[in-house]
């Protein structure tokens, strides 16, 4: 694998990220997402008909076939157009939501705007989520540039990613996080669509979620630890050892982050939570929902599936996860997503 030497360019960085996450082992080394610490109580008398299980749900005013989205990943370089088109076609077919990768490159020039706008063309009916990073938000003077990014893809929500760990390790990273919360508040007040605040694999704590909810954020994607390590990705991009290597496994495991953030639903009942970070099957989707998530997301496993096995392979994996979710619902006696959200789940270790 050859990484592009023009590291300062946003496009080549986005390309490197896809290459590295698909080809290299950038999972957390020791830490898991901690969903293995949570168990449903098996129901030997579910008293429901498997074929009547209804997994549909509403997200961003649109119906999904089950509570699932492909998390924000790519855009902003030539080959990203095909990836985003294929992701969008599969999401449209499966009736699940899709996020695009950081649209920072589209702020710099218009060379690759179509690598983003293709998603709406290929997926006219599903929820589409725009994306920008914390460092752009910290410097935000005028929210109209972000509104334009949202309009470019007719987004139903706009995600802001908080990635201090990645910026810390990235050679060209931006580590001035002053003003991010203020920028988020501006966007919450000015954008025509809801703001989603997400991490990218190090999780969101109760205190951070509270600050976000206090400024009006109503969608939080915990994007916790246990799946893709963004410290790992940036360490491999550097290609030489450094003091940052010790941070490979840094972060709050997804299940722990979800438990912390879901506490806030008591004070902010309209808060919508997305559970993501190392999700690899339908039982973890079911556990997330029972632990108060409204929607569940996954990134790297789905990208790998698309690149390695094409659209058919991605379609098959999503079908499997959907069937596994239904299987878990049958075995706990939950006929609907609402019933699953009210199903007991216990911490076992
Ligand atoms: C190739 C790739 C590129 C990504 N780029 C972005 C991005 O631009 N913006 C963002 O918010 N998250 C980005 N992410 C992070 C994911 O949205 C997700 O939060 C993270 O990878 C953890 O999920 P996972 O363990 O399922 O991969 C990217 C992930 C991958 C695999």
| Distance (Å) from CA 276 to ligand 1 centroid | 10
> Would you state the pLDDT for residue 340?
98
- Candidate from 72, 295, 318 with most ligand 1 atoms within 8 A of CB, to mutate: 72
- Candidate from 101, 221, 278, 288 with most ligand 1 atoms within 8 A of CB, to mutate: 101
* Alpha carbons 201 and 210: distance in angstroms, whole number: 19
DSSP H helices in the chain: 10-23, 80-94, 104-108, 113-122, 134-138, 144-152, 164-169, 180-190, 206-214, 230-238, 254-262, 282-290, 300-332, 337-341
Q: How many CB atoms lie within 10 A of CB 320?
A: 12
CA distances from 22 to 18, 33, 58, 305, 307 (A): 6, 20, 31, 9, 8
- Determine if the pTM surpasses 0.95: yes
Q: Which ligand 1 atom sits closest to the C-alpha of 226?
A: 25
> Which residue puts its alpha carbon closest to atom 2 of ligand 1?
73
Place of tokens 């496994």: 249
> Which residue puts its alpha carbon closest to atom 13 of ligand 1?
73
Q: Taking the CA atoms of the chain, what radius of gyration do you get in angstroms?
A: 19
Under 8 Å between Cβ of 294 and 272? yes
The residues of the chain scoring below 70 in pLDDT are: 1-8
Q: Which ligand 1 atom sits closest to the C-alpha of 99?
A: 17
The response to whether residue 232 sits with its C-beta less than 6 Å from ligand 1 reads: no
> Which residue puts its alpha carbon closest to atom 18 of ligand 1?
200
Ranges of each domain in the chain: 10-347
The response to whether residue 274 sits with its C-beta less than 6 Å from ligand 1 reads: no
The response to whether residue 277 sits with its C-beta less than 6 Å from ligand 1 reads: yes
Give kind and range of the element (H or E) at residue 97: strand 97-99
| Distance (Å) from CA 265 to ligand 1 centroid | 25
Q: Which ligand 1 atom sits closest to the C-alpha of 14?
A: 3
Q: What is the DSSP string of 229-253?
A: -HHHHHHHHH-S--GGGGGTT-S-B
Q: Which of 175, 165, 166, 129 is nearest to 20 (CA)?
A: 166
* Alpha carbons 25 and 156: distance in angstroms, whole number: 33
| Distance (Å) from CA 65 to ligand 1 centroid | 23
> Which residue puts its alpha carbon closest to atom 6 of ligand 1?
73
> Would you state the pLDDT for residue 1?
44
- Class at the top of the CATH hierarchy for domain 10-347: alpha beta
The response to whether residue 228 sits with its C-beta less than 6 Å from ligand 1 reads: yes
The response to whether residue 27 sits with its C-beta less than 6 Å from ligand 1 reads: no
Q: What is the DSSP string of 143-184?
A: THHHHHHHHHTT-SEEEEE--HHHHHHSTT-----TTHHHHH
In degrees to the nearest 10, what's the CA dihedral of 206, 209, 214, 216? -160
Under 8 Å between Cβ of 91 and 302? no
Q: What are the φ/ψ torsions at residue 220 (nearest 5 degrees)?
A: -125, 130
What would the pLDDT profile of 4-22 be if each residue is shown by its tens digit? 444 347 999 999 999 999 9
> Would you state the pLDDT for residue 171?
84
């Amino acid at each position: 694998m050859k990484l592009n030497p023009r590291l300062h360019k946003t496009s080549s960085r986005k390309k490197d990220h896809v290459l590295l996450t698909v080809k290299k082992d950038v999972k957390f080394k020791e830490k898991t997402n901690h969903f293995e610490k949570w168990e449903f109580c098996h129901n030997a008398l579910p008293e429901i008909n498997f074929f009547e299980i209804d997994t549909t749900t509403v997200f961003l005013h649109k119906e999904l076939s089950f509570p699932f989205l492909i998390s924000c990943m790519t855009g902003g370089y030539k080959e990203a157009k095909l990836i985003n088109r294929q992701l969008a076609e599969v999401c449209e077919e499966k009736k699940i939501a899709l996020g695009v990768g950081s649209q920072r490159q589209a702020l710099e020039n218009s060379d690759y705007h179509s690598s983003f706008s293709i998603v709406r063309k290929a997926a006219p009916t599903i929820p589409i989520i725009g994306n920008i990073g914390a460092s752009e938000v910290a410097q935000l003077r005028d929210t109209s540039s972000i509104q334009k990014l949202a309009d470019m893809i007719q987004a139903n929500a706009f995600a802001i990613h908080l990635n201090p760990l990645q910026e810390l390790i990235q050679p060209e990273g931006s580590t001035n996080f002053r003003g991010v919360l203020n920028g988020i508040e501006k966007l919450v007040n000015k954008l025509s669509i809801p703001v989603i605040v997400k991490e990218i694999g190090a999780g969101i704590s109760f205190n951070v979620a509270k600050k976000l909810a206090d400024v009006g954020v109503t969608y939080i994607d915990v994007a916790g630890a246990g799946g893709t390590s963004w410290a790992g990705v940036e360490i491999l991009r550097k290609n030489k050892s450094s003091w940052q290597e010790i941070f490979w496994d840094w972060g709050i495991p997804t299940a722990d982050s979800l438990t912390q953030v879901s506490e806030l639903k008591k004070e902010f009942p309209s808060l919508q939570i997305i559970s993501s970070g190392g999700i690899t099957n339908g039982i973890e989707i079911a556990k997330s929902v029972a632990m108060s998530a409204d929607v569940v997301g996954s990134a790297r496993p789905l990208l790998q599936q698309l690149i390695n096995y094409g659209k058919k392979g991605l379609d098959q994996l999503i079908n499997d996860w959907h069937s596994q979710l239904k299987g878990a619902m049958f075995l706990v006696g939950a006929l609907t997503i609402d019933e699953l959200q009210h199903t007991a789940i216990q911490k076992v270790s």
